[in-house]
Amino acid sequence: MFHRVLIANRGEIAARVIRACRELGVETVAVYSEADRGAPWLADATATLCIGPAPAARSYLDADAILQAAEQTECRAIHPGYGFLSENALFAARCEQHGITFVGPGPAAIRAMGDKLRAKRTMAAAGLPTIPGSTEPLASAADAARLADEIGYPVLLKASAGGGGRGMRRCDAPAGLPAAYAEAAREAESAFGSSELYLEKYLVGGRHVEFQILADRYGHAVHLGERECSIQRHHQKLVEESPSPALTAEERDAIGRRAASAAASFGYVNAGTLEFLRTERGELFFMEMNTRLQVEHPVTEMVTGLDLVQWQLAIAVGAPLGFRQDEVALAGHAIEFRINAEDPDAGFRPDPGRITAVSDPSAAAPGVAVRWDAGVAPGWRVPPHYDSMIGKLIVHAGTRAEVLEAARSALRALGIQGIKTTVPLHLRLLDDPAFAAGTYDVRTLERSGLVGSVSTEA
């Protein structure tokens, strides 16, 4: 195992990686920005190092500063967490040249999956179903119109280099297509430096289901079941669970195995997630692959009993996966609630500031596993510069009903004071019949009335 690992991230994920390292007997160097000086998670690291001022571009996104910190502190590997540099192919390539192991896939895989159309082509070639649409970039608006007529409206124009909804346009009828094409191309050009677009069928509603995979350096890959992430607000996930209430064991096995072998087919190494859209009719379509650890990885850990971060480190150091697909056992049900420093009744306006009280809820529900992955403590001032998520509450029990029951007391036991959080929203969600029944889809939360009518104030 590595002697010492640098953690190029902050908050709950930094705490999470530090914990995994400690359990493996690996020393940690936690880097931080000036805004995070004295942060609670830093106390658990072997050593800490300030790498720059508050803006992420000059600290957590500053590849030079992080590489220099790793050299200086003699770290043999860098764990990027999620966000920041975790899906930056150039950073991974630079680590490679420095002889520092980037805990994640190689730069080529990051780049291949970063190009959404290429990712779609790769996965289609590996036998995964993809949303009907382009296999090549569109040559022109006329090309787009031809294809749209073929697959039927509504359609979605997307930027090949895209992400985050930029360069994306929905189009419901032929008349709107030329204008949508021009706008999307212009937006893609300015956002990504490439106006390359592709088109696919716009699928209304559906559920967001994703498969976790692990792949070692020797061509062996397994899936660890799926996560259901359809409780979303403006494409931001709020609640995730495993298994998905919508999937049968046969579907899970069939798609999961195909996802794992698809990842292995192009030489993917380390942890990764393949996102699918499950339509109301029950078809599953590959959407994209995230080449990193996901925020919601703990629900998978709870049902599999595997520590994904420890496996990431083991794979990075060259260990083979020590188990086969049929040795992966999924037990019980787990749900994760994202606790964000936001006011859900004021359009999810971020609400950074000093936390005056927060308690560990892990003993809140006797007989049920409650896990609190967080980077906060009483007295810590949540800085305004970064993502507003401060922690994740994960509840694991034998059945979904038991989890829902225990979640109520666990959420109440958090007792966060000083800032507004998403806890009240989660408590209301537990009362929602669609959520309780597990019959929700990606539109449920925004249609439920739970998020209030003031969301435009954000």
Partner 1 sequence: MAKVLLEPIGSARERAVDEAAWAAQRAHAEALGASLQAKRDEVRAGWGPEYAARVRKKGKLPTWERIDRLRDPGTPVLPFGTLVNYGRTFGEERKTSPGAGVVTAFATVAGRYTVVIANDNTVASGSWWPQTPEKIQRAQEIALRLRLPVVYLVDCSGLFLPEQSHTFPGRTGAGAIFRMNALLSAAGVPQIAGVHGDCIAGGGYMPIISDVVYMTEQAYMVVAGAALVKGAKAQHITSLSIGGPDVHVHLSRCADHRVPDDETLLACVRREVAKLPGSACAYYRYGAEAAEPRFAPSELEGVFPVDHRTGYDMREVLARLTDHSMLGEFAPSVGREMICGVARVGGLYAGFVANNLALTDHPVHRDVKRPGGILYKEGIAKVAQFSRCCNDDGIPIVWLQDISGFDIGPEAEKQGLLGFGSSLIYTNATNDVPMFTVLLRKASGAGYYAMEGLPYAPVLQLATPLTRLAVMEGRTLAIGAFNSRLDDAFKPVAKTPEEAEEIRRGMQAVEDRVTREMDPVLAASRRDVDEIVRPGELRAWIEPLIAMAYQATGYRRVKNPRIWSLHDQEVIAG
Q: Does 107 bind partner 1 (CB under 8 A)?
A: yes
Instruction: Rule CB under 8 A: choose which of 94, 237, 252, 396 binds partner 1.
Output: 94
Q: Which residues share a beta bridge with 192?
A: none
- Are residues 4 and 76 in contact, defined by beta-carbon separation less than 8 angstroms? yes
Find the binding residues for partner 1 in span 236-275 (CB under 8 A).
267
Q: How far is CA 321 from CA 55, 275, 372, in A?
A: 38, 22, 28
Instruction: Rule CB under 8 A: choose which of 15, 17, 39, 89 binds partner 1.
Output: 89
Our CA angle for 192, 214, 305, nearest 5°, is 125
Q: Does 166 bind partner 1 (CB under 8 A)?
A: no
- Are residues 408 and 352 in contact, defined by beta-carbon separation less than 8 angstroms? no
Our CA angle for 275, 126, 287, nearest 5°, is 20
Q: Does 68 bind partner 1 (CB under 8 A)?
A: no
Instruction: Rule CB under 8 A: choose which of 96, 149, 283, 431 binds partner 1.
Output: 96
Query: Hey, CA dihedral for 417, 421, 426, 427, is it positive or negative?
Result: positive
Q: Which is nearer to partner 1, 121 or 381 (CB)?
A: 121
Q: Which is nearer to partner 1, 135 or 417 (CB)?
A: 135
Residue-wise burial string across 163-180, b where 16 or more C-beta atoms lie within 10 A, e elsewhere: eeeebbbebeeeeebeeb
Q: Does 98 bind partner 1 (CB under 8 A)?
A: yes
For 78, which DSSP code?
Answer: E
Instruction: Rule CB under 8 A: choose which of 43, 90, 254, 329 binds partner 1.
Output: 90
What is the smallest separation between the CB atom of 194 and partner 1, expressed in angstroms?
Answer: 7
What is the smallest separation between the CB atom of 410 and partner 1, expressed in angstroms?
Answer: 44
Range in contact with partner 1 (rule: CB under 8 A) among 74-82, 104-112, 220-228, 324-332: 104-112
What is the smallest separation between the CB atom of 105 and partner 1, expressed in angstroms?
Answer: 10
Question: Quick check: is 292 catalytic?
Answer: yes
The two three-digit tokens of residue 122, written as one number = 């790769």
Q: Does 106 bind partner 1 (CB under 8 A)?
A: yes
What is the smallest separation between the CB atom of 190 and partner 1, expressed in angstroms?
Answer: 8
Residue 343 half-sphere exposure toward CB, CA atoms < 13 A: 16
Catalytic residue among 10, 111, 292, 371: 292
For 218, which DSSP code?
Answer: T
The residues that touch partner 1, with contacts defined as CB under 8 A, are 63, 89-90, 93-94, 96-99, 106-109, 111, 193-194, 267
* Residues annotated catalytic, as ranges: 292
